[in-house]
Amino acid sequence: MTSTATASLATDLGAYRTSLRAYLNNGDALDRWRGKHHGSTEDRIAEHAALMAHLYQDGWNRYGWPAEAGGHGGDERHRGVLYDELSAAGLPVPDPQLMLETLGPAVVRFAPDLAARYLPEYLRGANWWGQGFSEPEAGSDLAGLRCRARREGEHYVLSGQKLWTSHGATASRFVCLVRTGTPESRHRGLSMIMVDAAAPGVSVRPIALASGYRELAEVFFDDVVVPADRLVGEEGQGWAVAMYLLQWERAMYAWQSAAVALRRFRELLGQVAGKPLPDGAATRIGECYGDIVALRARSVRTVRRLAAGETVGPEASVDKVLLATAETSLHDLARDLLGTDFVLGAGADTGDWRADWWFSRSATILGGSAEVQRTILADHVLGLPKEPRA
C-alpha cells in the first residue's frame, strides 16, 4: 500500500472498514486462523501472535496507534473496527491484543519512549505484556499493594509478588504497579514500571483454571534490577496512570469481548440448528442477543468518547457490568442449548464451549468485581449516599 493510501485510511474510517473487510475475506491466506481449536493456552497465544505478525506485515493492526509507536495513525475507532471485522470474518481477536488494549494506551501516553521501543514488536506479535497489578492481599483494594521498588541510583530494585497475571506464563514484559512510597502511603506512594520477564530474579508460576488452560500466572520478584527509564509516568504517579489505564481496560476489553460474543452467538446457533431445543429456548436466545446488543450499543459510544480524547472515568464501569452480563448470558445459553453434549461431548466445538463457560465465570471478577463496579457507579456516577459503615 502506498503511503498516501495508508494516510487516507487513517483518516477515513469507512474506507478503512471496507478495505479491511475485503482483505480479511479475500482468498484463503487467513484460513489457518479461522474456526481453530487449540489444545493449550500456550498454543493458542502462539497462533494468535502469528496472526498479529500477518496483520502487521500487511499493515492492518497498525491503524489506531501513533506512527511514533509503529502505528499508521488513526484512533480507537480503527482498533474497534479491526476487532469487529476480525470477528465477522470468523477470525479470533488475537489474545495479546486484549492486554495491548489495557496497557498500550497508558504506555503511549505516559512513556512514549518505551512505546517507541517496544510497541512495534508487540504489534507484530514478537512479544507481549502482562499486567502486574493484583496481589494476594490487593485485588479490589488495589491501593493496599505491597510489591516494593526501591530506588538505587539509575535503577529500581523490585521485590514482592503479583497474582492472577493474564498471559503471565508467556509474556515478555510486565507492566507493574509497585510501591515506591512508605508502606502506609496507599495510592499516593505507587509507581508504574515495565519489567522484563527474563530479568534475573523474576520467576513465573502458571495457574491452571478449572478448564485446565493455564491462562493466568503468579509472578515473583526477588531483588529484580530495573532501569529507572522503565517508569511509566513519574515516580509516585502510578495511581493516576492506573486510573487512566482502567478506562481502556474496561471499555476496549468490553468492545473486543462484544465482537467475539456476537461471533460465538452465531456459531452456537449454527451448532444447534435442526436439533431439538429445550422449552423456552427461543426466548432465551432472544434475551441473550439483547444482552450482547445492549453491550455493543453502550460500548460503541464509549469507544467514540475515548477516540475523541474525553475522560470516561468511572462511567466505564457501566460497560464492565454489561460485559459481565452478556458473557454470563451467552455461556449459560450455550450450556443449556447444547445439553448433554455440553457436559459429555468429545468434539473440539463442545470442548471449547466448556472451557469458555468456565472462563465466563470470571467475567464478574476480572478487571474489578461486579460489586465494586456497582459501588463505583453508585458513588461516582449516580452520586448516591454512601452506605453506612458497619
Ligand X SMILES: Cc1cc2nc3c(=O)[nH]c(=O)nc-3n(C[C@H](O)[C@H](O)[C@H](O)COP(=O)(O)OP(=O)(O)OC[C@H]3O[C@@H](n4cnc5c(N)ncnc54)[C@H](O)[C@@H]3O)c2cc1C
Q: What amino acid positions are annotated as catalytic residues? A: 249
131 interacts with ligand X by CB under 6 A: yes
Helix (H) or strand (E) holding 376: helix 370-376
Window 256-315: residues binding ligand X (CB under 6 A): none
- Pick the binder of ligand X from 61, 134, 161, 302 (CB under 6 A): 134
Query: In this chain, which stretch among 2-10, 115-123, 289-297, 364-372 interacts with ligand X, using CB under 6 A?
Result: 364-372
CB of 93 to ligand X, least distance (A): 16
> Cβ closer to ligand X: 46 or 372?
372
AA identity, residue 104: G
Window 214-233: residues binding ligand X (CB under 6 A): 216
94 interacts with ligand X by CB under 6 A: no
Query: In this chain, which stretch among 25-33, 67-75, 196-204, 366-374 interacts with ligand X, using CB under 6 A?
Result: 366-374
Torsion sign (Cα): 93, 96, 99, 104 = negative
> Cβ closer to ligand X: 80 or 367?
367
146 within 8 A of 133, measured Cβ to Cβ: no
Q: Please tell me the distance from the alpha carbon of residue 68 to that of residue 362, in angstroms, as a whole number.
A: 36
CB of 202 to ligand X, least distance (A): 15
AA identity, residue 210: A
Query: In this chain, which stretch among 114-122, 197-205, 278-286, 370-378 interacts with ligand X, using CB under 6 A?
Result: 370-378
366 interacts with ligand X by CB under 6 A: yes
100 interacts with ligand X by CB under 6 A: no
Q: Nearest 5°: CA angle at 93, between 16 and 36?
A: 120
Per the structure block, which three cell numbers stand in for 218?
503468579
Q: Other C-beta atoms within 10 Å of 180: how many?
A: 20
CB of 361 to ligand X, least distance (A): 8
253 interacts with ligand X by CB under 6 A: no
Query: In this chain, which stretch among 131-139, 152-160, 179-187, 238-246 interacts with ligand X, using CB under 6 A?
Result: 131-139
Contacts of 344 (CB under 8 A, 6+ apart): none
For residues 99-138, one letter each, b for 16 or more C-beta atoms within 10 angstroms of the residue's C-beta and e for the rest, the string is: bbbbbbbbbbebbeebbbbbbbebbbbebbbbbbbbbeeb
Window 155-194: residues binding ligand X (CB under 6 A): 164-166
> Which residue, 351, 262, 265, 335, is CA-closest to 40?
351
Q: Please tell me the distance from the alpha carbon of residue 203 to that of residue 165, in angstroms, as a whole number.
A: 13
371 interacts with ligand X by CB under 6 A: yes
- Pick the binder of ligand X from 64, 74, 105, 139 (CB under 6 A): 139
> Cβ closer to ligand X: 55 or 363?
363
Q: Please tell me the distance from the alpha carbon of residue 362 to that of residue 347, in angstroms, as a whole number.
A: 24
Task: Report the interface residues with ligand X, using CB under 6 A.
Answer: 131-134, 139-140, 164-166, 216, 362, 365-369, 371-372, 375
